[in-house]
Amino acid sequence: MRALKIVVSILILSLVNGCTDESPFLSKAEAYELSNELNLNRDPFHKVKNFAAIINNDVYYFHRLDSVPKRLTNSPSAVKTNIKLSFDKKQIAYLNGAGHPVIIRTDNGQILQTLTQFSFIDQMDWAKDRLTLYMLSDNVVNFYGESIEIIQPVINHPWDEVKSFSMNSIGDQGYYKRNYGDFFKRLKYHSTVKGIDEEYLNFEGDLYDYIDFYDNNGNFLIGSYDAFQDGIGKVVCVQNYDFFPAYEWDAEPMNTPEFNAELEILLYGTMEENVHKIKGVYLGTSAYPSQGYYDILTNVVEDYPSTTPIYLDWVQ
């Protein structure tokens, strides 16, 4: 009987001992599927979604950077520039060949409005909390839609030039202006949140002439336009009202650079191999700790090149 107990105990223990971790081996299809899924989920560019772009003079909407975009217009012979996506991702505004803003629906490209009352637009964008389009034209900020209370650029001389204007929805605004007789453009920055009302000649010793508030968190992007390269040559991102370059990028001329602070990705149009392409640059370190300038993680959208400059706008 004792022998019986010993043998039965061993057989029972064997059942327990036989249970171990799950096998690491998979079928070929399962292994490839899992590998692709893990790589995709780790790729910061896979998280980029909801941006509009003008490619070959037609408007496209990308639900994801790596997805097939929806073509919203079919008029490649009609010039289109300066595309902007509304905060609710339901409307797109762009400038037509005559320089008038055209507003279309994001879901089907239907033209909603052509704003012939506005022209010679230097910069425009949607407000971040409502369907109001603000446009810088001839040193004045105009609105289409509900008016927003702002501090209009101060003009002291008829030949003063406001080159860039941007604002967020929490009372921050900024514009670059070149005063008559002054070679440089200065940033006039106002923040209701931080109680700042200052003018800056340069930032960290460099000169800039473009500003874009990319969210409502005290973050904005400044750029310096390179006339020789016909694009923005350098971009600096300021985070949380901390006037220090949290991110910067100057590898190549950029058209309509757009930054998302959560993903730490800069998206823009640029020339690659003699054609215009959409390019993303990961400027963070958590997903990919780059080993230097030439090891920065980038993603070029190869499937949608353009013979004309690419304009884009991104509302994640």
Partner 1 sequence: MNRVCQHAHDWIKNYFFLVSLFFYIDSIAQENVLSISPEYNIPLGKLAWSYKASPGIQLKYSLVARKNRNFQSGLSFGYTALQPLADTLYYVVDRGGVGGVGIGTATFSPFKMIQITGTMNFEFPVVKKKLSINLGLGIGIIYGSREMIFEDSFGAIDDSAETVGWASMVSKAGLEYKITNNFSLSPYISYTFMIQTGNTDSNAIDYNPGTGAISNFYSPGMSISYSF
The answer to the question of residue 297 lying near partner 1 (CB under 8 A) is: yes
DSSP summary character for residue 142: E
Type of residue found at 224: S
Q: List phi, psi (to 5°) of 32.
A: -65, -40
Tell me the window of 15-23, 197-205, 221-229, 265-273 that interacts with partner 1 (CB under 8 A): 15-23
Return the number of the residue (38 or 201) whose C-beta is nearest partner 1: 38
Using DSSP's 3-state secondary structure scheme, residue 284 falls into coil
- Strand 220-226, strand 58-64: pairing: unpaired
Binding mask 232-271 for partner 1 (x = CB under 8 A): ----------------------------------------
The answer to the question of residue 287 lying near partner 1 (CB under 8 A) is: yes
Type of residue found at 198: E
| Half-sphere exposure (Cβ direction) of 122: Cα atoms closer than 13 Å | 20
Q: d(Cα 141, Cα 153) in Å, to the nearest integer?
A: 8
Please identify which residue in 87, 203, 288, 304 interacts with partner 1, judged by CB under 8 A: 288
Closest contact distance (angstroms) between CB of 66 and partner 1 is 13
The answer to the question of residue 3 lying near partner 1 (CB under 8 A) is: yes
Q: d(Cα 162, Cα 237) in Å, to the nearest integer?
A: 21
Return the number of the residue (39 or 116) whose C-beta is nearest partner 1: 39
The answer to the question of residue 28 lying near partner 1 (CB under 8 A) is: yes
The answer to the question of residue 24 lying near partner 1 (CB under 8 A) is: yes
Closest contact distance (angstroms) between CB of 296 and partner 1 is 12
Please identify which residue in 18, 158, 181, 195 interacts with partner 1, judged by CB under 8 A: 18
Return the number of the residue (11 or 227) whose C-beta is nearest partner 1: 11
Return the number of the residue (7 or 98) whose C-beta is nearest partner 1: 7
Binding mask 34-73 for partner 1 (x = CB under 8 A): xx--xx--xxx-----------------------------
Window 123 to 162, contacts with partner 1 (CB under 8 A): none
Neighbours of 183 (CB within 10 A): 7
The answer to the question of residue 14 lying near partner 1 (CB under 8 A) is: yes
Closest contact distance (angstroms) between CB of 314 and partner 1 is 20
Among the listed residues 117, 57, 121, 61, the one whose alpha carbon sits nearest the alpha carbon of residue 91: 61
The answer to the question of residue 302 lying near partner 1 (CB under 8 A) is: no
DSSP summary character for residue 113: E
User: Tokens standing for 38?
Assistant: 């893990």
The answer to the question of residue 298 lying near partner 1 (CB under 8 A) is: no
Q: d(Cα 136, Cα 176) in Å, to the nearest integer?
A: 11
CA–centroid distance for 274 within its chain: 23
Classify each residue of 50-82 as buried b or exposed e, where b means 16 or more C-beta atoms within 10 Å of its C-beta: bbbbbbebbbbbbeebeeebeebbeeeeeebbb
Return the number of the residue (17 or 117) whose C-beta is nearest partner 1: 17
Among the listed residues 296, 250, 305, 249, the one whose alpha carbon sits nearest the alpha carbon of residue 272: 305
The answer to the question of residue 286 lying near partner 1 (CB under 8 A) is: no
The answer to the question of residue 30 lying near partner 1 (CB under 8 A) is: yes
Q: Where along the sequence are the contacts to partner 1 (CB under 8 A)? A: 3-4, 6-8, 10-11, 14, 17-21, 23-28, 30-32, 34-35, 38-39, 42-44, 287-289, 297
